[in-house]
A and B are shown apart, each in its own frame.
Chain A
Amino acid sequence: MLGIIAKSLGTGVLTEADPFGGRASFGFPVVDFSRCTACGECAQSCPSGAIQAATPTEGCKTLSLSYAACIQCRACVTACPEKAIGVSDGVEVAAYTREQLAQTASFTVDPETGRATFSQDAVHHGPGLAESAFRLRDRIRGRLGRSLHVRQVDAGSCNGCELEIAATANPLYDLERFGIHLVASPRHADVLLVTGPVTRNMEIALRRTYDAAPEPRVVVAVGTCGCSGGIFGEGTYAAIGGVDRVLPVDVYIPGCPPRPQAILNGLLVAMGVREARILPSREQ
């Protein structure tokens, strides 16, 4: 007993004041389209189809990149002959839609030389996100409005996402200090934190869990698989795909798996979504 007390006292407080301080050593690939020649090497190298190269019409090429499908393997970074792909180190990556996580660039191809030049960037930076990040900072500074009860549902994950979700509760991240509690039953839950790819064999259980949660319930898709089916794909005989193939998803947290900070950030975004749903007038 004395040993335990000594250990507790000797250890002190491990919880980090700013959980968003640590940077991700590899977030997501960022393409510098001005250097990109749309050669498509990155798309070839990408195991999960997150980068797609296409030639929609003669004289035009497109390159699209979706963080919803990216497994952060960095194959594209090394594959790019122009060294046009760098990496981001941000952890605040949550989005409200799959589309917000995607970007497409168009290129015009010179008929003489065959060289493609970047003509137009169609990057969708979710307009809500900057704002929510701002709101989050507020919350972290101690103006937490309410608490959030979270039920996690593994609807097909490889368990990597579960490892990082569980890590958010460890003494260093300690998500409970943000008023976020992982609860045992969907009946107590404000938020369902769903990992996927949703499998055929989990679809019914997932729907039932959703039905058991009280309104206004918020669904957060966690991980590349939950956002898009990831490396397992969509519409296969066994994997239905992203959570939004089965339930309406309010927040997407991409990453394979997302870091604990990214999950924490996504949950804080979800808190905002929930508040907006309860108090629509105040949010206007």
Chain B
Amino acid sequence: MSNALEVAANAVRELRPGELVIDASATALPGLADRAISGLDARLMSLFASDEREVAGRFFLHHVWSLPQLKRFLRVIAPIDPAEPSFPSISAKHPAANWFEREVMDLFGLVPTGHPNPARVVLHDDWPERAWALRKDFPAQGAVARVPGDYHPFRPVTGEGVFQVPVGPVHAGIIEPGHFRFGVAGEPVLYLQMRLFYVHKGTEKRFEHLPWRHGVFLAESISGDTVVGHALAFAHAVERLATVTVPPRAQALRTVLLELERIYNHTADIGAVATDVAFTVPASRAQALREGLLRIQDRLFGTRLLRGTIALGGVRHDLTSQGRQVLSAHLRVFATEFDALIALLIDAGTFTDRVDGTGILTHQAARDLGVVGLAARASGVDADLRRDHPHDGYAGVRFEVPVEDGGDVRARLMVRAREVEQSLLILHQVLDAMPDSAIAASMPERLPALASALGWAEAWRGPCTHWVATDTRGEIARVKVTDPSFLNWPGVIQAVPGNIIPDFPVINKSFNLSYSGNDR
């Protein structure tokens, strides 16, 4: 392993294939983070805590990094003494950690020392102090009293002609709730502040109270547009825990499902951007194309949004050779229509006028904020777990990772368009050479006790990661869910200033982040 890390760490262990672990002291965390980033081009994937006071007498803090050069994840674990519930923050140097560390503070009562803005992020103003919901001694059931409070002061506006525009949480369209505050001078936006977590459902706590076999159904409901992505990330973690190998045909089918999810979402988003600039013909074409995909999914897998397709150990439905032909034929027609849709958009000056140079997220900002997935690739960050940490059938297929440099609405649109092309390429490869095997491996009766594993998948929006840990009975002790939206919302905050308010919907749509995935 690289020298960059050996220095401070006692030992780097390969806990499971592709997953390195370093046990460190809390004080060593910032130094290790610096070295991982500078020496190994590490990218922060997740940062969270676990309450292991019952079994180990301690909390633990976990930093999870992607090390693309080594094709491995690195989890740095540090114990936190309950008598001194704090840990050193890395947010001042590595802003990607900002919300993560504040979430740990809100839900575990562990304080990130040296955090530049240690304000609440998950908890709204009317949550009482010391309501640390993810601590084991906090009851899952039972309402939490509302108390008066003011923990989210919005930045005051000063200056002549400068004012604030509040929007939400209930919006005008059919979208999820969130509150935005624009500081504006006339039309141009000076800054954007947001308050999220309106749809915080206590999902991570809920996992701890479901039998582990049922967790996959909860994972499907983390973000309704990323059913396969989250179900796979959860299933991967559980399968790695149980050291179960997923049969080749199941891996191939999982690849098919994940790419279908990517295509239908990308198509919908391209249409949504057209809707937001009032370009109705392509918008309605995109909706019809998407509906066609959902119907073929319904026909082949019995589910429009691919719910219930992923099983622990494999998949729940096979695809007959006739089904494969039906799908291939549908995708061929889709490809032609999709090309026509893109041509319609980029040939229209009225459209490109609205998207070119709008909502720019610079490469530097994307790197510093740790933005992931398609939003990162549209800002020139070349990262994709399907290639960098291959899962399911991806090691065996040829595909490219499209990257654009513009960082604007157009770049995010073009990354989607080019990814759809690649998805079609992947789908045809997989459908033409479907291995023969069972579609699921059997899972053991119980999971190993006091063990943990990381699961990941590059879903359409970006990486979904789940860290699953078991208790003494082999039931779930903790699931940390990271949706790409959580890493990308700060990117939206950066991309909006300098644009005018009427461009906000189209910028927001071009990211299309999940509120539910973010808030859980």
B contacts, CB < 8 Å to A:
124, 131, 133, 138-144, 169-170, 172-177, 197-203, 205-206, 210, 214, 217-218, 221-225, 227, 281, 284-285, 287-288, 290-291, 294-295, 298-299, 302-305, 307-308, 340, 343-344, 347-348, 514-516, 519
Contact = CB atoms under 8 A, between A and B. Distances in A.
Contacts of A90: none
A268 interface: no
B144 A200 contact: yes
B288 A171 contact: yes
A162 B224 contact: yes
A260 B276 CA distance: 22
B199 A165 contact: no
Contact of B170 (A71, A159, A205, A240): A205
List of 6 A-B pairs having minimum Cβ-Cβ separation, nearest first: A160-B224, A238-B202, A184-B172, A47-B214, A170-B287, A158-B224
Contact of A172 (B144, B217, B291): B291
A232 B201 CA distance: 7
A199 B201 contact: yes
A161 B175 CA distance: 10
Contacts of A225: 221
B176 A157 contact: yes
A237 B520 CA distance: 13
A159 B198 contact: no
Given A25-B298, A199-B200, A232-B202, A47 B217 contact: yes
Contacts of B217: 47-48, 71, 73, 75, 231
Given A11-B285, A172-B288, 5 more contacts: A22-B295, A158-B222, A167-B294, A170-B291, A256-B221
A7 B86 CA distance: 61
Contacts of B307: 71-73, 160, 256
Contacts of A163: 224-225, 305
15 contacts: A3-B347, A7-B285, A25-B299, A26-B302, A73-B217, A155-B177, A155-B199, A170-B288, A171-B288, A197-B201, A205-B169, A205-B170, A237-B138, A238-B201, A240-B143
Contacts of A7: 281, 285, 340, 344
B174 A152 contact: yes
Q: Secondary structure of the B side of the interface?
A: loop
Interface in A137-172: 152-167, 170-172
A108 B228 CA distance: 43
Given A199-B198, A257-B224, A235 B281 contact: no
Contact of B174 (A166, A201, A209): A166
B198 A201 contact: yes
A201 B200 contact: yes
B218 A231 contact: yes
Contacts of A74: 308
Given A7-B281, A172-B288, A153 B200 contact: no
A205 B177 CA distance: 10
User: Among A73, A74, A164, A236, which residue has the most Cβ atoms of chain B within 10 A?
Assistant: A236
Contact of A182 (B133, B174, B197, B302): B174
A202 interface: yes
A226 interface: no
Contacts of A40: none
Contacts of A205: 169-170, 177, 198
A205 B195 CA distance: 14
Nearest to B169: A205
Nearest to B168: A205
Nearest to B279: A4
A192 to B, nearest CB: 10
A109 interface: no
A86 interface: no
B144 A199 contact: no
A152 B176 CA distance: 10
